[in-house]
Amino acid sequence: IKFTVQFLISVGRIFINLLVRTPYFLKYTVSTFKFWKKILLSKRI
């Protein structure tokens, strides 16, 4: 029983970490994409 409880806690922690990190990751990707888009647009002009 102790093993299953520890397993559930560890899985829960990983899941929470993913949920917390995902928005930041999405923000980071969007910001980098916009940054590169600006550079490409400025070079094109």
Compute the C-alpha angle 25/26/27, nearest 5°: 90
Please report the pLDDT score of residue 45 as a whole number: 57
pLDDT at 39 (0 to 100): 86
Instruction: List, for residues 8-41, the tens digit of each pLDDT value.
Output: 999 999 998 888 888 888 888 899 999 999 988 8
For the chain, the structural domain boundaries read 1-45
Separation of alpha carbons 7 and 24, rounded Å: 26
Mean pLDDT of 1-5: 81
Is pLDDT at 44 greater than 90 in this prediction? no
pLDDT classification of 2: cutoffs 50, 70, 90: confident
pLDDT at 33 (0 to 100): 93
Per-residue DSSP letter, 43: H
Q: What is the DSSP string of 7-38?
A: HHHHHHHHHHHHHHHHHHHHHHHHHHHHHHHH
